[in-house]
Structure 1
Amino acid sequence: MKGIKLIALSAFSTAFLSFTPVNKKYIVIDAGHGGNDMGAVYQGISEKDITLHIAHEIEKINTTQDKYEVILTRGSDDDIILADRTAKINDLKPEMVISLHVNSNPKEETPDKGTEIFVQNSDSSRKLAEKISKKFNVRKIEERNLHMLRESQSPTVLVELGFVNNTEDRRYMTSEKGQQEIAKKFIEVIKEY
């Protein structure tokens, strides 16, 4: 009887482990700002809300769960300090980190529009930025000494999705259609990575 139990347990363990995703990889989406940190604000529209909505949309439409699991650094309107975000990232050791942000400038309404991408001093970060630039109207790709880029040990890019004080960018980033399209572009990048 004892031998039968061991064989049954062994068969169950083998079957269970065969369904466990052993080589699943993580993609971290960092929705910039949160809580009391509003980020850029224009006419009551805040960066922290735009980035969170788009992060949730990326998580929702990710169809690569068998290969890549999308992890958010914040799933709600929480104020999570940068050191905690990068500590979580470094514990996960993800394939890539995409930190979402929204740009602004001092002008009330600006003609400046489009995406800007900031990168680490690494080939893998630049490669990721180049892939993203093929999907968006990118104004520039530039190396920056920002906490998220400096402290993350994985390929990381910080993407300024558009200008909150540009009418066209603002309408697009806050519309359901625009947020879905932006999320789909990032999913395409993940699938091609």
Structure 2
Amino acid sequence: MKLVVIDPGHGGTDSGATGNGLKEKDVALTIALKTDWYLNHYYKVKTIVTRYTDKYVSLGDRSKLSNSNNADLFFSVHCNAFDGNAYGYEDYTYTSVGQTTKNIRETFHNKVTEVLNKYGIRNRGMKTKNLAVLRETRASAILVETLFIDNVGDSNLLKNSNYIEDISKCYADGIALALKLEKK
């Protein structure tokens, strides 16, 4: 059975980005836990969540948890922030990854575009970046930036329970499709 480590970004003393009454750590936790629920409810999969509550977990400990359990995928949930004017969705892999990770991310990203299109969200694309959790994790790893928390339009979606359900379910379906998980 495939193992997915779901990582709600930030937490505890690390709020992550803030904007329009939201904290990244809270939004990331909500989406990650819903994604975990959808994965476990609809698919044959094993999951580990790096935090279930508002607590601080170091970047190193997040990677170690994935590596020590030989995860098939490390999935990190975040929200973006820039200057209040940037908006949309993007996802990341490490700067140099193998074909397996590229294929997983492309399949996942293509599935996510369904929700982006439904809500008229700008698709900022598939990107690479030298981020610790992507670099230090041996499993295929994807980091999602679920909209810009400091953009009014994006933050209104992040406050919309229908959007949160849709994106969480789509993340789960995208992971399932990419990893070829069996339905329950």
- Fold shared per TM-score above 0.5: yes
CA distance in structure 2 between the partners assigned to 1:163 and 1:43 by the alignment? 10
Q: 1:98 aligns with which of 61, 75, 80?
A: 75
Task: Report the residue type matching 1:180 in the other structure.
Answer: E
Q: 2:12 aligns with which of 13, 20, 35?
A: 35
User: How much has 1:42 moved relative to structure 2?
Assistant: 0.8
- State the match for 2:54 in structure 1: 77
**Does structure 1 residue 130 correspond to structure 2 residue 115?**
no
**Does structure 1 residue 171 correspond to structure 2 residue 156?**
yes
**Identity percentage over the alignment?**
29
In the TM superposition, 1:179-190 aligns within 5 A as 179-190=164-175
Q: Provide runs of 4+ in structure 1 moved above 3 Å.
A: none
Higher-Rg member (1/2): 1
Task: Report the residue type matching 1:61 in the other structure.
Answer: Y
CA distance in structure 2 between the partners assigned to 1:48 and 1:82 by the alignment? 14
Per-residue CA deviations over 1:21-52 (Å, capped at 9, x if unaligned) read xxx22111110000010000013310000000
Normalising by structure 1, report the TM-score.
0.80
Unaligned runs of 5+ in 1: 1-23
CA distance in structure 1 between the partners assigned to 2:61 and 2:13 by the alignment? 16
Cα contact 2:134–2:141 (8 A) shared by 1: yes
Q: SS where residue 191 of structure 1 aligns?
A: helix
Root mean square deviation, CA, Å: 1.4
Unaligned runs of 5+ in 2: 117-122, 180-184
CA distance in structure 1 between the partners assigned to 2:53 and 2:78 by the alignment? 15
